């Protein structure tokens, strides 16, 4: 069955009846009244004719939003159309843990907890399959005009709109029940220049990068230039560099010497909630330029391209260190080891280093892979790490370590960074620990992080850490990033591990545990700390201050200017205070009365 025929057939199964205007329903929950976006069970839902017109406008790029596992099932929801495809099912099963394959899919969310874990791959095609919290339609956009058409359609019809780049998203913001999705993953153009002549005071080399370019491919293209250059990107190879990464701030292996990813942006090309094409830089739309540099993903506009500083390639050294069950099963030994390692965070970060580590699950696993020493050789990196080795040896803690140096950062990155495994199940939290907090409360912080990785009656925990100080590389920057980042020492993502099969009530209880037990333990020991909008707790208390600090009031004002009606929505981003996803994680609605 061809794609257009399948699209037309499934339209018949989701048809709405056009009513008066585009008003969504009024719902009540927990004593409050909400006005909702328009959904398929409302009279305002677009008709088949409306969807077909949109499909024509976007040159046939409108598709039914099929979850990646749908091809393994004979039926999607209540539709009578058979979506099963044995060959595609086998391909999906083979690639279920392949991040690149999933990011290339039109709608896949790499953290399936946010999708309600429905319609997973299976060997039994008769098992039920629903969309869960996935959207209804997706525009696989190839041009800016197609993005604009989708934004206009969603705004005019009061539909929930999702901007999806790669789905590399711990917090579930790239999916939403009943939504129209705009997929920007085709915007892959990159252009390098040796001398930037645009607005601002930067006259060095630069690159204009399409929104969909991913970390590893951007590093690879930068390395292919003559002379070779580097760009501040994340440690994960498949993260969409021009999407939420930059718009949330963006930390990575070179942040300790060049600052955050957003610190280095020179200009944005974007499409606003009004459907206007804009350039945002130091001269044009400077308020939007400021906000897009760290003010939150999918919040102010749809970014299509970013112009950013590039830097000459640099020699880089790296070290991998492990302490695990092959060395010891003594939790007291591991506790001592982690205290020694993490209490040196200020020491590492003030040498411009970036350190990636994993603690857990459970009390006897510390995996540091790697310590990153930019502009260092093996001898220089070992000298910086000598206090760590001396303290571990004095405490008679067993470990193994491996150090290498490379002529360039790119060669180091390809050799020593590990790919992540997608489709894991967890509820995410996190905390930025400052230089002062580490200095004053280091042992208490280490204990709180160990607690977050320990067994608990219903699950294990797991921590992913990033020791880095953006203020070392870029101490004063005028952008939306929380100023606390300039004094950072360590940023740790916590995970409450799940199976994905829990009931709604249990999920809510685990979310509460994540916020009010694990998160509280971290907040209590870091009074100067903060949280990171891209990798944090969706239920973070006082999230406006935790994510943006003193910048929040200005961000709220800019959001009110560029998107006063809430065309864009990602949870816990500026201007979303009155909006909630209610009705068991489905409908996006705005509170109109308490």
Q: What's the chain's average pLDDT?
A: 93
Query: Rg of the chain's alpha carbons, rounded to an integer?
Result: 24
Length of the chain, please?
594
253 exposure class (CB count in 10 Å sphere: 0-12, 13-18, 19+):
buried
Q: Where are the beta strands (DSSP E) in 426-521?
A: 426-434, 461-467, 488-497
Beta pairing partners, 373: 317
Q: Shortest CA distance to 457 belongs to which of 513, 536, 540? A: 513
Give backbone dihedrals phi and psi of 357, rounded to 5 degrees, phi first: -145, 155
Average pLDDT over residues 137-158: 98
CA distance 208 to 265: 10
- The predicted model gives 342-357 an average pLDDT of 98
Report the distance separating Cα 463 and Cα 562, nearest Å: 37
Q: Where are the domains of the chain?
A: 3-183, 190-312, 316-549
CATH value of 316-549 in 3.40.462.20, 1.10.10.10, 3.40.50.620, 3.40.50.2300: 3.40.462.20
225 contacts 192 by C-beta, under 8 angstroms: yes
Residue 181, beta-bridge partner list: 138, 162
Among residues 383, 350, 348, the alpha carbon closest in space to that of 368 is found at: 348
CB 184 within 8 A of CB 302: yes
Q: Which pLDDT score is estimated for 454?
A: 87
**Residues 531-537, mean pLDDT to the nearest whole number:** 97
Residue 239 token pair: 């993260």
Angle between the N-to-C axes of helices 48-57 and 144-157, in degrees from 0 to 180, rounded to the nearest 10: 160
Q: What pLDDT was estimated at residue 459?
A: 73
pLDDT at 455: 79
Can you list the alpha helix ranges (DSSP code H) found in 270-422?
286-292, 331-342, 345-349, 378-394, 409-416
The three-state secondary structure class of 209 is: strand
* pLDDT tier, 21 (very low <50, low <70, confident <90, very high otherwise): low
Q: Which helix (H) or strand (E) holds 521?
A: helix 519-524
Asked whether residue 9 carries a pLDDT value surpassing 80, the answer given is no
pTM of the entire structure?
A: 0.95
User: How do beta strands 190-193 and 206-210 pair?
Assistant: antiparallel
Is residue 6 scored above 60 in pLDDT? no
The structure tokens listed for 446 are: 């280490």
Through-space distance between the first and last CA atoms of the chain, rounded to whole angstroms: 49
* Nearest alpha carbon to residue 200 among 85, 73, 293: 293
What is the DSSP code string of 22-73?
A: TPPPEEEETTEEEEEPP-TTSTTSPPHHHHHHHHHHTTT-EEE---GGGGGS
Q: What is the pLDDT of residues 425-463, one digit of tens each?
A: 999 999 999 999 999 999 999 999 999 998 787 778 999
Q: How confident is the model at residue 594 (pLDDT cuts 50, 70, 90)?
A: confident
Fold of 190-312: 3.30.465
Give the span between the Cα atoms of 340 and 366, in whole angstroms: 12
Beta pairing partners, 339: none
Q: Is the pLDDT of residue 19 over 50?
A: no
Residue 23: per-residue pLDDT: 74
* Residue 377: alpha-carbon gap to chain centroid: 32
| SS3 assignment, position 370 | strand
Does 2 score more than 60 pLDDT?
A: no
**Predicted pLDDT at 460:** 84
Cα(72)–Cα(270) distance, integer angstroms: 37
**Is 80 exceeded by the pLDDT of residue 14?**
no
pLDDT at position 13, please? Answer: 41
**φ/ψ (deg, to 5) at 337:** -60, -45
Contact 222/205 with Cβ under 8 angstroms? no
User: Which position has the token pair 């607690």?
Assistant: 451
3 pLDDT higher than 60: no
Is residue 3 classed exposed, middle or buried when 0-12, 13-18 and 19+ CB atoms within 10 A define those classes? exposed
**CA-based nearest residue to 272, from 572, 559, 43:** 559
What percentage of the chain carries pLDDT values higher than 90? 87
d(CA 88, CA 398): 47
Residues whose CB is less than 8 angstroms from the CB of residue 321 and which lie 6 or more positions away in sequence, other chains included: 366, 368, 369, 371, 399, 400, 401, 402
Cα separation, 224 vs 231, in Å, equals: 12
């Amino acid at each position: 069955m061809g794609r257009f025929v399948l699209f037309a057939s499934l339209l018949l199964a989701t048809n709405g009846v056009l009513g008066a205007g585009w008003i969504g329903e009024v719902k009540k929950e927990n004593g409050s009244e909400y006005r909702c976006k328009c959904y398929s069970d409302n009279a305002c839902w677009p008709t088949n004719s409306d969807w077909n017109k949109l499909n024509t406008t976007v040159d046939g790029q409108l598709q039914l939003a099929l979850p990646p596992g749908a091809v393994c099932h004979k039926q999607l929801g209540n539709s009578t159309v058979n979506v099963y495809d044995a060959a595609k099912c086998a391909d999906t099963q083979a690639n279920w843990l392949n991040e690149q394959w999933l990011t290339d899919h039109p709608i896949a969310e790499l953290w399936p907890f946010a999708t309600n874990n429905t319609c997973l791959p299976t060997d039994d095609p008769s098992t039920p399959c629903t969309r869960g919290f996935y959207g209804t339609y997706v525009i696989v956009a190839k041009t800016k005009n197609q993005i604009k058409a989708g934004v206009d359609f969603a705004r005019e019809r009061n539909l929930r709109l999702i901007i999806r780049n790669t789905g590399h998203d711990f917090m579930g913001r790239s999916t939403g029940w009943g939504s129209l999705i705009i997929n920007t993953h085709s915007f892959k153009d990159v252009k390098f220049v040796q001398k930037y002549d645009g607005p601002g005071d930067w006259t060095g080399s630069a690159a204009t990068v399409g929104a969909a370019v991913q970390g590893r491919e951007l590093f690879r293209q930068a390395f292919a230039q003559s002379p070779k250059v580097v760009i501040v990107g994340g440690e994960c190879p498949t993260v969409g560099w021009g999407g939420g990464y930059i718009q949330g701030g963006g930390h990575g292996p070179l942040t300790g010497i060049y600052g955050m990813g957003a610190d280095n942006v020179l200009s944005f090309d974007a499409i606003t909630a009004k459907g206007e094409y804009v350039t945002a830089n130091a001269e044009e739309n400077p308020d939007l330029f400021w906000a897009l540099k760290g003010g939150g993903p999918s919040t102010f506009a749809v970014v299509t391209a970013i112009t950013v500083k590039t830097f000459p390639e640099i020699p880089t050294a790296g070290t991998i260190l492990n302490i695990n069950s092959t060395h010891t099963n003594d939790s007291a030994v591991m506790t001592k080891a982690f205290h020694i390692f993490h209490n040196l965070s200020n020491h590492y970060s003030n040498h411009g280093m970036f350190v990636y580590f994993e603690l857990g699950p459970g009390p006897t696993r510390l995996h540091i892979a790697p310590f990153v020493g930019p502009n260092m050789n093996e001898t220089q990196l070992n000298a910086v790490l000598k206090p760590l080795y001396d303290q571990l040896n004095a405490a008679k803690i067993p470990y193994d370590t491996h150090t290498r140096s490379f002529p360039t950062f790119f060669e180091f990155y390809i050799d020593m960074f590990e790919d992540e495994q997608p489709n894991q199940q967890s509820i995410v939290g996190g905390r930025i620990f400052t230089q002062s907090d580490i200095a004053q409360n280091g042992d208490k912080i280490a204990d709180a992080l160990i607690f977050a990785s320990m067994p608990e009656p219903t699950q294990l925990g797991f921590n992913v850490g990033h020791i880095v100080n953006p203020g070392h590389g870029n101490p004063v920057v005028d952008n939306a990033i929380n100023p606390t980042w300039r004094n950072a020492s360590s940023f740790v993502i916590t995970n409450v591990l799940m199976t994905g099969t829990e009931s709604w009530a249990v999920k809510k209880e685990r979310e509460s545990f994540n916020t009010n037990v694990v998160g509280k333990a971290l907040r209590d020991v870091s009074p100067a700390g903060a949280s990171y909008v891209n990798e944090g707790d969706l239920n973070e208390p006082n999230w406006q201050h935790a994510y943006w600090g003193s910048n929040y009031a200005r961000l709220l004002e800019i959001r009110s200017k560029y998107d006063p009606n809430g065309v864009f929505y990602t949870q816990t981003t500026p201007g979303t205070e009155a909006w909630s996803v209610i009705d068991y994680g489905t409908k996006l609605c705005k509170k109109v009365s308490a």
